[in-house]
Amino acid sequence: MNITVKNVKLSNWIKEVADLCQPDNIHICNGSREEYDQMIETLLKSGIAIPLKTRPNSFLFRSDPSDVARVEDRTYISTSSKDEAGPTNNWIDPVELKKIMLDLYKGCMKGRTMYVIPFSMGPIGSPIAKIGIEISDSPYVVVNMHIMTRVSSRVLELLGTDGDFIPCLHSIGAPLAPGQKDSKWPCAPIEKKYISHFPEENLIWSYGSGYGGNALLGKKCLALRIASAMARREGWMAEHMLILRLTNPAGRQFHIAAAFPSACGKTNLAMMQPSIPGWKCECIGDDIAWMKIGPDGRLYAINPENGFFGVAPGTSYNTNPMAMDTLKENVIFTNCALTDDGDVWWEGMDGDEPKHAIDWKGRDWTPESTEEAAHANARFTAPASQCPVICKDWEKQEGVPIDIFIFGGRRTNVVPLVYEAYNWDHGVFLGATAASETTAANIGAVGNLRRDPFAMKPFCGYNMGDYFRHWIEMGKRLGNKAPKIFYVNWFRKSSEGKFLWPGFSDNSRVLKWICERVDGKANAKKTSIGLLPDEKNIDLNGLNISPENMKELMNINPDEWKAEIPDIEKHFATFGKRLPEELREQLKEFKERLR
Ligand code: GTP
Ligand code: SPV
Ligand code: MN
């Protein structure tokens, strides 16, 4: 195969991978509309993509039932010493892991085309953007990368002959023998899946899965795991955070970055339309924030992505109208149900359930069916530019100045609707001890409470103890310009198992209190866990919520919090000497306040 690319490192790498994986063809992607259309055409012909009648240029894909989410158990941070990866990551020695994976990669692209995808995380050419090249044998990955990142031949031009990039090697791990019929969603069995990161050499190797964060390597692999390790070396931050701009009735802008674990409400909050009059919310990003200290000493955030890979179930005009309006055209849907009139459907969509549909496994479905029509981790891939409330500054090179950090998660009980950290170090303590119930965004049990510090447990590319230290140090550098830190929980339930808080657009009521705190206009009371609003401080105008519910939402039960302590101690102990002294001190003070 005669492939010419100017960049020496890239040209050598392409040759090396081709020799190893032995594809039938090589295709260098240019990111054009024609290329996208052509790929879709091929996917349609083979019956892998299903065209939707009601949404122009939109298609449904169904994955293999074994390949429906990220695989944290098969995700590795491969540093030369285990200690560098830390207690929250899976680790295999890089030499050993590479040996295992080289064996798997050998001939793995036989019968397939190898796509070389040049992409930029962040606007092309921006000083904070990072260039990646993904090599993949999945056309589904190519079309998704087109939406989620900036794929362009301009990226190759920018690289020149000697520019550097992050190599991201991906194979679905399903070579085809001559004449062998392909399956609709080829992938490798779970024990052969590896999502591997070599942060010491900025390298990503993924094998065996075609789904989401396992395969679209610009997202979690590059923009979080590799980027977080780079960020710590270089003094910036790569976080699992949405970014939004909230404007109050007086016209003052607040920029908020919020970290919630997977499937815990980032996309919804990022596009939220306030239910309180006069407040305006605009979306800058829904999943990842890269932040640097600017010349004025404040922290500036950019969204390195180009699209949304959002959770479909639960998305409706009622809950997230701006997402629904984003999904009218040019969308890839994965593992949603197909209605008889050729549209997608999922649980929680507006209106009545369809009387009949084809479920995500391709079987007939009716409301009487015992299984869900759409998989709980069914997703949409849509261009960010299509969001009606995308902020005009969302691609601004210097980013937006962050005023507020919010941490949170899914807690059925214990954790109140909102509280404020006493100071930066206390805020870092709240982030470091955050716990949340697991969701369908990862393969594994759902609803299990686990510590998910800063919503980064699955995404931190180095020792989490050092990551805590990095947060402490960023606070020192930011000084009085540091964002204020808050903690929220939209998911507290009553004893009958119903959500106590309406959530969604009404979360604006909580954000309003947060902004007023930052503005020095709202009161708060000191409690053992942090600063809580007085009940009358949360604007409940026009909201039909009982005083009992509000009371329960704000309730702090000291016994329940005391019961958290042993688990926090156990969690902290896993970091040994790497746990910053400041956090040990915070835990001590917390225990004293609880006494
Ligand atoms: P990832 O893309 O996996 O990182 O998820 P995410 O954090 O962006 O979560 P997303 O906004 O997609 O929400 C996940 C699920 O939680 C959806 O089913 C939402 O409908 C639901 N959800 C989001 N916000 C709220 C809320 O305020 N209240 C309630 N009850 N549910 C919510
Ligand atoms: C998440 O799980 O946090 C996601 C989806 O945003 S994935 O891209 O699969 O990681
Ligand atoms: Mn996410």
Domain 307-386 has CATH 2.170.8.10: yes
Position in ligand 2 atom list of the atom nearest CA 287: 6
Model confidence at 1: pLDDT above 80:
no
Q: What is the pLDDT of residue 535?
A: 75
Question: Cα of 528 to ligand 2 centre, how many Å?
Answer: 34
User: Does ligand 1 lie within 6 Å of residue 264's CB atom?
Assistant: yes
Whether ligand 1 lies within 6 angstroms of the CB of 311 is answered as: yes
Instruction: Give the whole-angstrom CA distance, residue 264 versus residue 412.
Output: 12
Q: Stretch 558-580: mean pLDDT, rounded? A: 98
Provide the Cα torsion 466, 467, 469, 473; round to 10°: 130
Question: Can 264 be counted among the known catalytic residues?
Answer: yes
Q: Look over the chain and give the mean of its residue pLDDT values, rounded to a whole number.
A: 97
Q: What pLDDT does 60 receive?
A: 98
The pLDDT tens digits for 249-272 are 999 999 999 999 999 999 999 999
319 lines ligand 1 (CB under 6 A): yes
Active-site entry in 29, 108, 168, 264: 264
In the prediction, which pLDDT does 2 show?
Answer: 57
Integer Cα distance of 271 and 179 in angstroms: 48
Q: Which ligand is nearest to the CA of 220?
A: 2
Q: Which residue is it, tokens 């359930």?
A: 353
Which tens digit of pLDDT belongs to each residue from 380-436?
999 999 999 999 999 999 999 999 999 999 999 999 999 999 999 999 999 999 999
SS3 257: strand
Is the CB of residue 305 less than 8 Å from the CB of residue 384?
yes
Nearest residue (by CA) to ligand 1, atom 11, is 265
The 8-class DSSP code of residue 248 comes to -
Map out the domains of the chain as residue ranges. 8-47+70-236, 307-386, 403-594
Q: For residue range 493-521, list pLDDT tens digits in order.
A: 999 999 999 999 999 999 999 999 999 99
How much is the CA Rg of the chain, to the nearest whole Å?
Answer: 24
How many Cβ atoms are within 10 Å of 531's Cβ, its own excluded?
A: 18
Could you give the maximum distance between any two Cα atoms of the chain, in Å? 72
Burial of 183 (0-12, 13-18, 19+ CB in 10 A): exposed
Counting Cβ atoms within 10 Å, is residue 325 exposed (0-12), middle (13-18) or buried (19+)? middle
Q: How many Å lie between the centroid of ligand 1 and the Cα of residue 314?
A: 8
CATH for the stretch 403-594? 3.90.228.20
Beta strand extents in 148-288 (DSSP E only): 150-151, 166-171, 194-198, 203-207, 237-239, 242-247, 253-259, 280-285
Residue 463 clears pLDDT 60, i.e. is over it: yes
Atom 28 in ligand 1: residue holding the nearest Cα: 503
**Tens-place pLDDT, residues 360-370:** 999 999 999 99
186 lines ligand 1 (CB under 6 A): no
pTM above threshold 0.95? yes
Please state, as a whole number, how many other Cβ atoms lie within 10 Å of the Cβ of residue 257. Answer: 24
**pLDDT exceeds 60 at position 215:** yes
Superfamily of domain 8-47+70-236: Phosphoenolpyruvate Carboxykinase, domain 1 (3.40.449.10)
CA 275 to centroid of ligand 1, rounded, Å:
18
